Amino acid sequence: MQVITSKDNEVVKSIKKLKEKKFRDEKNQFIVEGIKLVAEAIEEKSNIDSVVVCEDCVNKGSIEKKLLYEIAKFNCVYVTEKIFDTLTDVSNPQGILAVINKENDNNKIDYTQDFIVALDGIQDPGNLGTILRTVDAAGLNQIILSKETADSFNPKVVRSTMGGIFRVNMIKSDNFIETLKELQKNGFEIVVTSLDTDNSIYDINYHKKVIVIGNEANGISKKVQNLAEKKVKIPMLGKTESLNASVAAGIVIYEYVRNKLS
């Protein structure tokens, strides 16, 4: 087994570049890191380019033999702990990561679905990843992202999805308003959260709805608000006027889930 020990190795340099969005776009690849995410990538039959393993972690027995057997089927690259530390994006790495080839972007909306989440300029990678995870948990298989929304393949987004990134189709919209209008033509109503209404999220049915979650600082854009058929608010009994974007998304998504189960 050959172990890479030099930070100047071309493979190491190439993987390190994937920390930056422009290289992820250029190479059409992204990184997943950690035992659970690599195992999920294999289980979901993702297009794995290579797997990078920290030799010292293998020697310490921190990676199960079952996973080591699975990754042996792919192009495996072994590196020293010192080199792995230059590739990792977390403070306590588990010693394994995978380079994934992005699938050809599927920007076709599935209009047969009953409920769709659309993000209008979400910027925080943690929020984006958490929303994707919640969408996956609710059994939804797609999400619409405006072009102003953060990169869905940012390492922090990928980690926050906890595997949801492999199961949710991320539809990138270059013209968010036109995309929403197309949804309306296909029988969907656009719903936005707003303080400027007496209607709460508990007052509407969730059949053929698109819920729009807005930017953390500026909320939902005026154009989207004007397009929406319905405005709803999340009731709050305390003095706080607004919620974190991912928390608000989770509350609305699970009101949809509650409706489905009732």
How is the chain split into domains, by residue range?
A: 3-101, 115-261
Q: What is the pLDDT of residue 59?
A: 76
Q: What is the pLDDT of residue 88?
A: 93
What is the reported pTM?
Answer: 0.92
Q: What is the pLDDT of residue 1?
A: 60
Largest CA distance in the chain: 66
**Going residue by residue through the chain (262 aa), what tens digit of pLDDT does each one get?**
678 999 999 999 999 999 999 999 999 999 999 999 999 999 999 999 999 999 887 777 778 889 999 999 999 999 999 999 999 988 889 999 999 999 866 789 999 999 999 999 999 999 999 999 999 999 999 999 999 999 999 999 999 999 999 999 999 999 999 999 999 999 999 999 888 888 999 999 999 999 999 999 888 999 999 999 999 999 988 988 788 999 999 999 999 999 999 8
CATH pick for 3-101 out of 3.40.50.2000, 3.40.50.450, 3.30.1330.30, 3.30.70.100:
3.30.1330.30
Euclidean distance between CA atoms 220 and 215, whole angstroms: 6
Q: What is the pLDDT of residue 179?
A: 97
CATH pick for 115-261 out of 3.40.1280.10, 3.40.50.150, 1.10.3720.10, 2.60.40.1930:
3.40.1280.10
Q: What is the pLDDT of residue 172?
A: 94
Q: What is the pLDDT of residue 21?
A: 95
In angstroms, what CA-CA distances link 130 with 8, 11, 25, 186, 228?
Answer: 35, 31, 22, 28, 25
Q: What is the pLDDT of residue 104?
A: 66
Residue (of 80, 63, 66, 73) closest to 12 by Cα position: 80
Strand partners, 209: 115, 189
In angstroms, what CA-CA distances link 236 with 36, 143, 192, 241?
Answer: 36, 26, 17, 8
Euclidean distance between CA atoms 63 and 17, whole angstroms: 25
